[in-house]
Amino acid sequence: MPLVHNSRVQPEWIDYNGHMSEAFYVLIFGHATDAFLDAIGLDAETRSQAKVSAYTVEAHIRYVREVQEGEAVEVQTQLVGHDAKRAHLFHTMARAADGTVVATEEILVLHVDTQAGGTAPFQPVAANALEQLQKRHDRLPRPQDVARAITMPSRSVTG
């Protein structure tokens, strides 16, 4: 089973088009990343005490469907890969009501030593949790859009 994070679309996340603005999909995905960190034992208190954190350094988002104010959404998170200092995640956001996928976000997260100001290996508790989670998530189908790039086929502007 992927990890699950639930959210509800707040009024201040709606833009002039009358639906959730692109930044706030990323805010919800960020909360799902926080939930992932909690799940591997890197909750806020542990990060603060150990003087470590996790920074998203790269993200690829697909905005698939509009989302309205007040809608409940559910983010499922799959650990695609990891190494000593990095985690590669794939978030899928769906409407809680009917499971329609509304967006996906693939991210690369770096583990950092906030005191030294550089990357640092995950400490044993998190590293072990990642190993266990990886074993479980390796059984899930690999998300179709991992390593996706934005491309626009060349064609006539009248095409």
- Choices 1-9, 70-78, 91-99, 148-156 (CB under 8 A): range interacting with its own copies: 148-156
Distance (Å) of CA 40 to CA 10, 125, 128: 28, 8, 8
Beta strands in the chain (DSSP E): 3-8, 52-63, 72-82, 86-95, 101-113, 118-119
CB of 2 to its own copies, least distance (A): 18
The verdict on 123 binding its own copies (CB under 8 A) reads no
Residue 24 engages its own copies in binding (rule: CB under 8 A):
yes
- Residue 139 touching its own copies (CB under 8 A): no
Applying CB under 8 A, which part among 35-43, 68-76, 93-101, 106-114 lies near its own copies?
106-114
Evaluate whether 32 touches 87 at the Cβ level (below 8 Å).
no
Strand 118-119 to strand 3-8: parallel, antiparallel, or no bridges (unpaired)? unpaired
142: number of Cβ within 10 Å: 13
φ/ψ of 140, rounded to 5, equals: -75, 155
1 is a site residue for its own copies (CB under 8 A): no
Considering beta carbons, is residue 62 or 95 the nearer one to its own copies?
Answer: 62
How many residues at the interface with its own copies, by CB under 8 A? Answer: 49
113 near its own copies, judged by CB under 8 A: no
Q: Report yes or no: 72 and 97 within 8 Å, Cβ to Cβ.
A: yes
Among 3, 107, 120, 126, the residue binding its own copies under the rule CB under 8 A is 107
Question: In the set 35, 39, 50, 88, which binds its own copies (CB under 8 A)?
Answer: 88
